[in-house]
Homo-oligomer: A and B are copies of this chain.
């Protein structure tokens, strides 16, 4: 059977490859462990932004809600790890996160814009990939769990986009999102050999 081309999520420039789905399904335990790290990191990113912009009321309010929800998901993923007897352990990250980080410009206000859009793109990609796990994971209960989470990731993407739209002109946001989305997809063209949510 030839590898199917997967549907493209709004905002993302390229859909995930079928090779990623095969890699993930063949390594569900590692994917779960990596997912745990992703949820903790996502909470950390939201909290860091709140520390960096403590006077930006909308940003603080929305990111507090995101951070709380990511921590709730972190707890839920960790319960899955426990249920499957997978001990918590560090995992080397794929190059995706570090690659995206280099795209964030250093000076304000560009730094804020890029930070929001990069976070949004990660949420959009996570939404896509959790959706693929929800569809293709052979374990019914786990698939259901992924289905529950993917809606949150889409909502988080929306919040990051609305925040960018709150603090910046819409055409500036659109133009930069276009550039960043192209680079985001490029970072995933070559499948990382280690199975990860963002390999």
Contact = CB atoms under 8 A, between A and B. Distances in A.
A160 B50 CA distance: 25
* Contact-residue bracket for chain A: 20 to 34
A69 to B, nearest CB: 10
Interface string A88-116: 11100000000000000000000000000
A54 B89 contact: yes
- Copies of the protein in its oligomer: 2
A179 interface: no
Interface stretch (A9-17, A57-65, A127-135): A57-65
A32 to B, nearest CB: 14
B61 A78 contact: yes
Interface string A66-79: 01100110110010
Contact of A88 (B60, B68, B72): B60
A47 B43 contact: yes
B43 A89 contact: no
A40 interface: yes
A contact face: mostly helix, strand, loop, or mixed: helix
A13 to B, nearest CB: 31
B50 A47 contact: no
Given A43-B47, A47-B47, A50-B40, A64 B71 contact: yes
22 contacts: A40-B47, A40-B51, A43-B47, A44-B51, A47-B47, A54-B88, A54-B90, A55-B87, A55-B88, A55-B89, A56-B88, A57-B87, A60-B88, A64-B71, A64-B74, A64-B75, A65-B75, A67-B71, A68-B68, A68-B71, A68-B75, A71-B71
